[in-house]
Amino acid sequence: MKLSRPVSWFLLAFGVWSWIIWITFVKNLIKDSSGLAFEDGDPTAYFWVHLLLAVVSFVLGTAVGVIGLRSVRALRRRS
Contact (Cβ atoms closer than 8 angstroms) between residue 65 and residue 18? yes
pLDDT tens digits, 22-37: 999 999 999 998 999 9
Q: What is the rounded CA–CA span in Å between residue 1 and residue 61?
A: 20
User: Which of 63, 75, 60 shows the shortest CA–CA distance to 8?
Assistant: 75
Confidence of residue 79 (pLDDT cuts 50, 70, 90): confident
What per-residue confidence (pLDDT) applies to 2?
87
In this predicted structure, the answer to whether residue 64 has a pLDDT above a threshold of 80 is yes
C-alpha pair distances (Å), 70 with each of 40, 51, 56, 63, 64: 46, 28, 21, 11, 10
35-58 mean pLDDT? 95
What per-residue confidence (pLDDT) applies to 1?
78
When the pLDDT of each residue in the chain is averaged and rounded to a whole number, the result is 94
